[in-house]
Every structure is written in C-alpha cells, then in structure tokens.
C-alpha cells in the first residue's frame, strides 16, 4: 500500500500556486506534470498489487518518478526566480 500521497502539490506545498500557474500557462511543464502523475499512479497500482510487477520494476519506476520530481522542482524554482527578477 502507498505510504503517502505523492501528488506534486503534497511534495512541494510551498509551490502550490506556482504549480497551478505553470500547469495553466506552460505546455512543457504540463506534459512533465502529467508524466509525473502517470508514474505515481503506476507505482501506487504496483504497491497495491493491482498491477503485477517485480520489485526491480517497481523500483525503476520510483527512480524515474524521483528524477522527474527533481526536474519539476528545478523548473518551478527557475520560473519563480525569473519572475522575481522581472
């Protein structure tokens, strides 16, 4: 079973408004965001044993999700920094 909710707004509550704005205004961010959500749902289904998977497969998806989360966090921070400088 999933231990926590890995929704991006739960991972980065301090960026909740930034995430919402980027989803509305930035197609590339929205694509990455959707991919992150898809990975999260897949991992959750594996953890709940709805989708059969080996431990290695589950761990690989978790690593992909973590890398994507880091990318999204960098994107959010860069966008915020650019807005502050403007």
**14-38 confidence digits (pLDDT tens):** 999 999 999 999 999 999 999 999 9
- Give the pLDDT of residue 51: 92
In a domain, 9, yes or no: no
Rounded to a whole number, what is the largest CA-CA distance in the chain?
49
Q: Which two tokens stand for residue 67?
A: 């890398």
In a domain, 4, yes or no: no
Taking each helix axis from N to C terminus, what angle separates 16-25 and 55-85, rounded to the nearest 10 degrees?
90
In a domain, 53, yes or no: yes
Of the pLDDT bands very low, low, confident and very high (cuts 50, 70, 90), residue 83 is confident
Residue range(s) defining the domain that contains residue 27: 16-85
Residues 78 and 2: their CA atoms lie apart, in Å, by 30
- Give the pLDDT of residue 2: 43
Report the number of distinct structural domains present in the chain. Answer: 1
> Does residue 66 sit in helix, strand or coil?
helix
Mean pLDDT across the chain, nearest whole number?
93
């Amino acid at each position: 079973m999933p231990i926590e909710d890995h929704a991006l707004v739960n991972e980065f509550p301090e960026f909740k408004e930034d995430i919402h704005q980027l989803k509305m205004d930035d197609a590339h961010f929205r694509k990455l965001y959707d991919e992150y959500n898809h990975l999260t749902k897949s991992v959750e289904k594996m953890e709940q044993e709805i989708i059969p998977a080996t431990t290695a497969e589950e761990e690989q998806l978790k690593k992909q999700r973590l890398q994507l989360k880091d990318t999204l966090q960098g994107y959010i921070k860069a966008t915020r920094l650019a807005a502050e400088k403007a």
